[in-house]
Amino acid sequence: MHHATRSALVALVAAAACCLTACDSAQHAAESTASKAADKAAAEAKAAASSAASKAAEAAKQQARQTATNKVCDLVNGDGPLADGQVSTSDRALVKALGPVAAQAGVADKYLKPLQALGDANSTGHTTRALIAQLTKACTT
């Protein structure tokens, strides 16, 4: 083999080896960058899903609270069972059953406290009227 051909062949092999090394380095860099981007995207997606779940849960809690508050106020508004200022035995049973539901839903104390007191079978007529007035006021403000 001629010296010039041999030198050219050695140079070609050396250049090919350099290209393979550079390609291998580029491939590793691309894989690393892609892996980091995928990890970041997964973390962002997880954070977004968690945030969406938290927002949905909070919205559901607010809706439950509002619905329960509306049910409490329906007792004293319009033709509600307590709108006449009287509490019958069946009214008291209804109020007593609604109390824990309203508490679980997070209804504000300004509604909950008179509601719970109205559910007490030992309430006197005067106390009952005052509690109905208190609940009515809470529902109109």
CB contact set of 80 (below 8 Å; sequence gap of 6+): 73, 74
pLDDT, residue 26, reads 57
Instruction: Report domain extents, the chain.
Output: 3-140
What are the tokens at 91? Answer: 């009214």
Q: Is 120 exposed, middle or buried (0-12, 13-18, 19+ CB in 10 A)?
A: middle
pLDDT by residue (tens digit) across 34-68? 678 777 877 888 888 888 888 888 889 999 999 99
Look at 32 and 106; give whichever has higher pLDDT: 106
DSSP, collapsed to helix, strand or coil, labels residue 52 as: helix
Mean pLDDT of the chain: 81
Greater pLDDT, 84 or 40: 84
Rounded CA gap, 121 and 128, in Å? 10
Query: What's the rounded Cα separation, in Å, for the pair 100 and 93?
Result: 12
Instruction: Quickly count: other Cβ atoms within 10 Å of residue 95's Cβ.
Output: 25
